[in-house]
Amino acid sequence: MTACANAEHNTRFEFNFNDSQGNDFSEQKSIYINESKDELVLNASLKIDGGKAEVEVISSDSKESVCSFSYESDADFDIILKDVQEGQEYVISVKAEQTKNVNLVVSASEKLVQNKEKPSKEKGKS
């Protein structure tokens, strides 16, 4: 599947990694659904310089993988989330092995998705 080239994207977030040594990389970002919908399509564009990249979407409610992709070269693809509910959280995870550069851009053409940093857990105060 390819991402829509002419769609206006209202939500966009990015994963970037640049390392001349070709080390491993891992990062996660959370997205929150603002409105219930039967299907939500996120457009993704991956650029990778060597190695392998894995992209996985995990439902925070069930802790189960909703979908996953593995690439060894540049790719445009859609992430399709079914039966999304308002307030639901998903974690998008990117893992790369032996790569010098990884850039993943994920965007949504609707304002149904909100990108938020996970709140930090504070230790008890005395």
Annotated domain spans of the chain = 11-93
Do residues 80 and 67 lie in contact, with contact meaning Cβ atoms separated by under 8 Å?
yes
Per-residue pLDDT of the chain (126 residues; tens, 9 = 90+): 333 334 444 788 888 888 777 778 899 988 888 889 999 999 999 999 888 999 999 999 899 999 999 999 999 999 999 999 988 999 999 999 888 889 999 988 777 666 665 433 333 434
What DSSP line would sit under 7-70, residue for residue? PPPSEEEEEEEE-TT---EEEEEEEEESS-EEEEEEEEEEEEESSEEEEEEEETTT--EEEEEE
- How many CA atoms within 13 Å lie on the side-chain side of 122? 3
pLDDT of the residue at 20: 78
Nearest Cα to Cα of residue 44 among 88, 115, 109: 109
